[in-house]
Chain A
Amino acid sequence: MAQEQVIDTLQERGNPPFLQRFIKSTLRFIKKKPVGAFGALLMIIMIFCAGTAQWISPYDPYQVHPRDRITGTFERGEDTGNYYILGTDEIGRDLLSRTIYGARTSVTVSFLAIIIGTTTGSVIGMVSAFFGGKFDLVIQRIIDAMFAFPLLIFALAIVSVVGQSMMNVVMALAIVLIPSVARTVRGAALSVMEMPYMESCRTIGASTFRTVALHLMPNVTAVIIVLASIQLGSAIIVEASLSFLGLGTPPPTPSWGAMLSGSSRNFLEIAPHMAIIPGMAISMAVLGINLLGDAIRDLWDPRMRGSQ
């Protein structure tokens, strides 16, 4: 009994509870990178909206209120008497609810694409650096060719061929992100390959998988995470651009890009809020991820460490 207590207190002393550590490191981050923390706050708001959309949105985003068309901001609908904080669109759907649900689309698509794209790209980059030689050369030429497509055009091309659906958009974005990830990770992995410990691995006869997964990968993880956080911004923009062009997640699923295009263009004069609200949402989301990404890069990227 007494022994257990001693072990308990020892554990507590050496290892403060998770929450306490978390709060401490959060406070340190805020103090060190206030702008990055602001970006993180914007991201948290966006992810919170995405996760709890069905509980926090005041109305059903698909519900059409035919007689409450184009209600201004902070106005009551003429017919139903609903209070629309951000007004309604041309067929009377609540814009606040649609913006909140739009966050869900944006977060789902861009995060999934980043996870798939970064993982695939990193594996390609690491394997290419590890094996080198002809294999590396062939992979690099293919990556070069993939670089010859502007991001958005590449995504457009893929979606136009495979057809429009949320999963296809995710796949298109993931493929588009692969080349830059693969190239950067390959560069980082090449410098790790020069390290003495990689030679030691080979000397003790470690298997390829073991060397790559246990020794190469952990040493390029920082680069991968920094890269992913920077790419997330362009993933959100390309997703929005695709839906703006009418080739993203198909309607009626609320999506910020789609809200900005189509019918809202015809009502610019009388109802500018229909375009301004989704536009602001996209800008805030991308601003948040850019600020956070910069902070993460400053803190984690070995090349940036100590430079500022």
Chain B
Amino acid sequence: MQTYILRRVLLMIPTLMLVAIGIFVLTHLMPGDVIMIQLEGAASFTPEQYESIKKELGMDKPYIYQMGKWLWGLTHLDMGNSLWNNKPVTEEIFSRLPTTLQLAFMAFIVSSVLGIVFGVVAAIRQDTMLDHVTRIFAVGGLSLPDFWVGTLIILLPIIWFNWGFQTTYADPWEDFGRNMQLMVPAATAIGVRASASVMRLTRTTMLEVLRNDFIRTAHAKGLRERMVIYRHALRNALIPVVTVMGTQLSRLLGGTVIVEMLFAIPGVGRLLLDSITQRDLTQVQGNIMVIAGIFIMMNLIVDISYGFLDPRIRYGRL
């Protein structure tokens, strides 16, 4: 198991490097002049201004030098200074990172708990009313974009009870209650759509597993129903579900950007949007790098947990 984890961690390094190069290519070599976009806000500009921004961004140097500088900076977490307030990019990101991680983690909990619980219940009570309702919800849930679910969560209480969510963010260490008042609906908005596919897959794999011989054996030796389902059926059904949960991470992280804007939560996604509107290129670059890094890390955790769930993978040649 240790070698497996070590291998996966080491394989992460070349991916991270390629991602860093990718971001560099994206921001420097894509068609569209970044400097022009920088200057778009100004009513008029002189060629000198153009040159000075070019110099400030370090774009007057050859590409290979710029790329080397960006990659070398990354090795000791230096991603340059923000063009907006001249503070180090990483400082701003790391001060906001806990909020986004909390949101993503809560959304992950919402989606997996909702998905697995309802998926299992639908499979056990196949073809009952509960099963049908769950399946309709699963298909419908996939069609609801995060921002629409979020809007409904804000909107429906206003229409029905004439009561709206309070939308001021509070630090969880200072005022946990107020923090939760904002984070719970926000996490739900992200988690609902992600839970739909988890639910669908849990139901299908549960149904398949429940038809197996070893389940009949477990029943035959007189195990309680609960024992059969948790110990024998669920553990085997969860393996493909974990993989899907891994692919859901992309949705969760994309969702945090939208929901942070919707609920005014000061996280990394919100920072990304703000720096895009402020045309703060270095900050955008750093933000995308950090989000991609988190994504790779989360995928790694999913992969490793996969190894814990299925011993065959540990000893396999993966």
A binding-site residues for B, Cβ under 8 Å: 141-142, 144-146, 148-153, 156-158, 160-163, 168, 233, 237, 240-241, 244-247, 257, 260-261, 265, 268-269, 272, 275-276, 279, 282-284, 286-287, 290-291, 294
A sample of 15 cross-chain residue pairs with beta-carbon separation below 8 angstroms, ordered by A number, consists of A145-B19, A153-B257, A153-B272, A158-B30, A161-B34, A163-B32, A240-B147, A257-B147, A260-B148, A260-B151, A268-B158, A272-B155, A272-B158, A279-B152, A284-B143
Q: Does B98 contact A (CB under 8 A)?
A: no
Cα separation A146 to B22 with both chains bound (whole Å) = 8
Cα separation A160 to B284 with both chains bound (whole Å) = 9
Q: Mark B234-269, 1 if CB is under 8 A from A, else 0.
A: 000000000000000111011101100100000000
Q: Given A245-B257, A245-B258, A279-B151, 4 more contacts at CB 8 Å?
A: A150-B253, A153-B257, A245-B261, A276-B155
B37 — which chain A residues lie within 8 A by C-beta?
A: 161, 163
The one of A152, A168, A283 in contact with B148, judged by C-beta atoms closer than 8 angstroms, is: A283
B272 — which chain A residues lie within 8 A by C-beta?
A: 153, 156
Name the residue in B152, B255, B292, B296 with the highest tally of chain A Cβ atoms < 10 Å from its Cβ. Answer: B292
Cross-chain contact A287 with B155 (CB below 8 angstroms): no
Name the residue in A142, A160, A261 with the highest tally of chain B Cβ atoms < 10 Å from its Cβ. Answer: A160
Q: Is the interface of A mostly helix, strand, loop or mixed?
A: helix
Q: Mark B261-286, 1 if CB is under 8 A from A, else 0.
A: 10000000000110011000000100
Cross-chain contact A141 with B18 (CB below 8 angstroms): yes
Q: Mark B36-67, 1 if CB is under 8 A from A, else 0.
A: 01000000000000000000000000000000
Cross-chain contact B147 with A157 (CB below 8 angstroms): no
Cross-chain contact B155 with A161 (CB below 8 angstroms): no
Q: Mark B8-35, 1 if CB is under 8 A from A, else 0.
A: 0000001110110111001100111010
B binding-site residues for A, Cβ under 8 Å: 14-16, 18-19, 21-23, 26-27, 30-32, 34, 37, 139-140, 142-148, 151-152, 154-155, 158-159, 164, 249-251, 253-255, 257-258, 261, 272-273, 276-277, 284, 288, 291-292, 295-296
Cross-chain contact B288 with A149 (CB below 8 angstroms): yes
B151–chain A nearest beta-carbon distance, Å: 5
Cα separation A257 to B261 with both chains bound (whole Å) = 14
Given A148-B295, A272-B159, A290-B139: A282 and B148 within 8 A (CB)? yes
Q: Which residue of B lies closest to A238 (CB)?
A: B254
Cross-chain contact A283 with B143 (CB below 8 angstroms): yes
Cross-chain contact B14 with A141 (CB below 8 angstroms): yes
Cross-chain contact B147 with A162 (CB below 8 angstroms): no
Cross-chain contact A237 with B145 (CB below 8 angstroms): yes
A160 — which chain B residues lie within 8 A by C-beta?
A: 276, 284
Cross-chain contact A149 with B292 (CB below 8 angstroms): yes
Q: Which residue of A lies closest to B254 (CB)?
A: A152
Cα separation A152 to B276 with both chains bound (whole Å) = 14
Q: Which residue of A lies closest to B275 (CB)?
A: A160
Cross-chain contact A145 with B22 (CB below 8 angstroms): yes
Cα separation A21 to B146 with both chains bound (whole Å) = 41
The one of B19, B139, B261 in contact with A148, judged by C-beta atoms closer than 8 angstroms, is: B19
Cα separation A125 to B105 with both chains bound (whole Å) = 34
B296 — which chain A residues lie within 8 A by C-beta?
A: 148
B142–chain A nearest beta-carbon distance, Å: 6
Name the residue in A145, A161, A245, A276 with the highest tally of chain B Cβ atoms < 10 Å from its Cβ. Answer: A161
Name the residue in B142, B146, B284 with the highest tally of chain A Cβ atoms < 10 Å from its Cβ. Answer: B142
B296–chain A nearest beta-carbon distance, Å: 5
Cross-chain contact A282 with B254 (CB below 8 angstroms): no
B32 — which chain A residues lie within 8 A by C-beta?
A: 161-163, 168
Given A161-B26, A162-B32, A163-B37: A150 and B251 within 8 A (CB)? yes
Name the residue in A149, A162, A265, A287 with the highest tally of chain B Cβ atoms < 10 Å from its Cβ. Answer: A149
The one of B26, B34, B254 in contact with A241, judged by C-beta atoms closer than 8 angstroms, is: B254
Q: Which residue of B lies closest to A288 (CB)?
A: B143
Cα separation A51 to B206 with both chains bound (whole Å) = 44
Cross-chain contact A144 with B146 (CB below 8 angstroms): no
